[in-house]
Amino acid sequence: MSRRVDPVVVGLVANRLHSLLDEQQAALVGTAFSPVVRESMDLACAVFDSAGEMIGQSSGGTPGHINAMATGMRHIVAAHPPETLADGDVLITNDPWMTSGQVNDITVATPAFRDGRVVAWFASCCHSPDIGGRILSAAAAEVFEEGLRLPILKLRTADGPDETLERLIRANVRTPDETMGDIYAQVAANQVGIRSLNRVLDEFGLDGVDEVAAEIMHRSEQALRAALRAVPDGRYQASADSDGFDGEPIHLEVTVDVTGDTVHIDYSGSSPQSRHGINVVLNYTHAYTSFAIKAALAPEVPHNAGSFRPVAVTAPRGSVLNCVEPAPVASRHLIGHFLPSLLFEALRPAVSGGLPAMSADALWMTVWRGGGIDEPRPFTLTVFGAGGTGARPDKDGLNTTGFPTGVRAAPTEVLETLTPLVQRRRELRPDSGGAGRFRGGLGQVVEITRHGGHEWTVNANIDRVDFPARGAGAGAAGAPGSFTDLRTGRDLPRKQLVRLDPDAVVQLRFPGGGGHGDPLARPVERVLDDVVNGYVSIAAAREQYGVDVEYTGDPDALVRPPESYRVRSATPRRSGG
């Protein structure tokens, strides 16, 4: 820095930036058109210095969006240097190799001007409800099949919107109003951030944010380096497998080299890039890797460009974690979401407090479509759902919680209001959490049908059907998932378009998280509580935990209070685990 910045001012401005980013996100969510953004919050908001280095992010948002956008902003600033921009310009792109790895994710970036010069950038990245091409799945053979790909373009200038570009977008998507409505919301939210930033600069008498931003980033960098110095130097390794596509699994390997206050993560040994759309661009690999390192070692450190600096990430060119154009990438999250659990596996021996067991990991994303010739109101709806997280070293896993993504499930009322779909069942899935001293988080069971007597389709972008989440320290694996038509009893194809009869009933059984520690070390009263709450069945309590629980109440009762259960016997408990 050219001069010393008052540390009190740095702290105050950092807090104000955090607040105005939440204001930016609130504006985005409040004005968005699609439930993907409005309800599920599949988004990220961030502020950057004049060179495009990320200063901070909003409280919400997914690591795959925010961290990939942080590296993606460098492409945007390189394509449009500050001297080529004017106040009123707004830039847009969804290029997978420049941003978050799939064409469905649209980044909108706005330069913030003050006294005629760029002093900062505000940007957001949102999952579009549709971007054309194949409905989001892993079935494409090239990225060109996956939808409209936008290079870095000017969406707006001071003279107004680029109407030709807007018409082009609307003509290529199945949800023109929702898609453009969300883009308008991104533009408006960036403006909210810019107005608030100018008020902060006025209040503190600053002519820009760069010097304060440099100190904010420096503090995060030093905090993460301190956390790395607490990890014993060494090489740590782990491997895992995912379902892949159509019976061709994907193998992942990682080597973590910790040296002093730096860490190098290398994914050599992982599968080569796939012929199908489950490939991951290096931006996205870096995003979930840097998130995992911070989550494992220093979760309290603010996430910004400074916290990325001690973390080096490599993956072989042409591998599934560093795919080469024009590889298909639409369902890249089905591989990318495995990386935090994989890194936790590698680092578990090095972290004194321990790390969670493997989680269900990949977010389950279903895209429902009714667009037949006789469909009275054609619809395309993306629905998210989560399995269980892995058990922690001192706590049970979380039920039906999106990790590492943080994306939410939309309420049933939203699904049924916007479409003729009917969610006839949505409940926790007993016995899906891996047994252990600390139990893995439960998955859920969801059943979907529809009104109207018309054919419909679904793309289920799901994983952990073939490879369930492993436990840690003698803990058991979580239950695998499944995807079936209850009417026919057949398993349905995953990650590709499935055509459904009008009376089909689709059941999704979400996977559970792995258990942590010896199940026979779980206290008897905790096992009894699990049975009373419906998390663990009487049979599983006996077989997995050695606790024989008896139900003494009315066998036809729908409400079964705790006093209607008792423990008849229990295998002696083991210590530790």
Q: Are residues 99 and 171 in the same domain?
A: yes
Place of tokens 């690591």: 63
Determine, yes or no, domain membership for 351: no
Which residues pair with residue 79 across a beta bridge?
none
User: Cis ω on the peptide bond leading into residue 404 (within 30° of 0)?
Assistant: yes
Q: Is 409 exposed, middle or buried (0-12, 13-18, 19+ CB in 10 A)?
A: buried
Count the residues in the chain: 577
Q: Are residues 398 and 539 in the same domain?
A: no
Q: Are residues 512 and 530 in the same domain?
A: no
Residue ranges making up the domain that contains 109: 7-221
Structure tokens at 333: 């999250």
Q: Choose one of 221, 253, 282: the last residue of a domain.
A: 221
Crossing angle of helices 176-204 and 7-31, rounded to 10°: 160
CA 544/CA 1 separation, integer angstroms: 59
Q: How high is the mean pLDDT of the chain?
A: 96
Higher local confidence (pLDDT), 61 or 306: 306
Determine, yes or no, domain membership for 391: yes
* Residue 304 pLDDT > 60: yes
- Residue 3: per-residue pLDDT: 56
Over residues 475-488, mean pLDDT = 97
CA 92/CA 103 separation, integer angstroms: 12
Determine, yes or no, domain membership for 295: no
Determine, yes or no, domain membership for 429: yes
- Residue 577: per-residue pLDDT: 62
Determine, yes or no, domain membership for 43: yes
Q: Are residues 47 and 151 in the same domain?
A: yes
Nearest C-alpha neighbor of 320 from the set 284, 292, 362, 355: 284
**Per-residue model confidence as pLDDT tens digits over 409-467:** 999 999 999 999 999 999 999 999 999 999 999 999 999 999 999 999 999 999 999 99
Q: Are residues 546 and 481 in the same domain?
A: no
Q: Are residues 540 and 438 in the same domain?
A: no
Over residues 150-179, mean pLDDT = 97
Over residues 36-61, mean pLDDT = 94
Determine, yes or no, domain membership for 149: yes
Q: Are residues 538 and 462 in the same domain?
A: no
The counts of H helices and E strands in the chain are 13, 22
Structure tokens at 9: 């001012």
Q: Are residues 512 and 449 in the same domain?
A: yes
Determine, yes or no, domain membership for 276: no
Which residues pair with residue 457 across a beta bridge?
369, 499
Q: Are residues 529 and 508 in the same domain?
A: no
Over residues 478-500, mean pLDDT = 97
3-class SS string, 302-343: CCCHHHHCCEEEECCCCECCECCCCCCCCCCHHHHCCHHHHH
- Residue 2: per-residue pLDDT: 41
**Per-residue model confidence as pLDDT tens digits over 178-204:** 999 999 999 999 999 999 999 999 999
- Residue 524: per-residue pLDDT: 98
**Per-residue model confidence as pLDDT tens digits over 132-147:** 999 999 999 999 999 9
* Residue 8 pLDDT > 50: yes
CA 562/CA 531 separation, integer angstroms: 9
Q: Choose one of 221, 256, 273: the last residue of a domain.
A: 221
pLDDT-derived band at 1, boundaries 50, 70, 90: very low
Q: Are residues 59 and 75 in the same domain?
A: yes
* Residue 576 pLDDT > 80: no
Q: Are residues 50 and 155 in the same domain?
A: yes
Determine, yes or no, domain membership for 310: no
Structure tokens at 486: 């209850």
- Residues in contact with 38: Cβ distance below 8 Å, sequence separation at least 6, in sequence order: 29, 32
Structure tokens at 388: 């269980």
Total number of domains in the chain:
3
From residue 154, give the alpha-carbon distance in Å to each of 45, 49, 84, 94, 398: 19, 20, 12, 13, 43
Q: Choose one of 201, 221, 241: the last residue of a domain.
A: 221
Q: Are residues 373 and 492 in the same domain?
A: yes
**Per-residue model confidence as pLDDT tens digits over 263-283:** 999 999 999 999 999 999 999
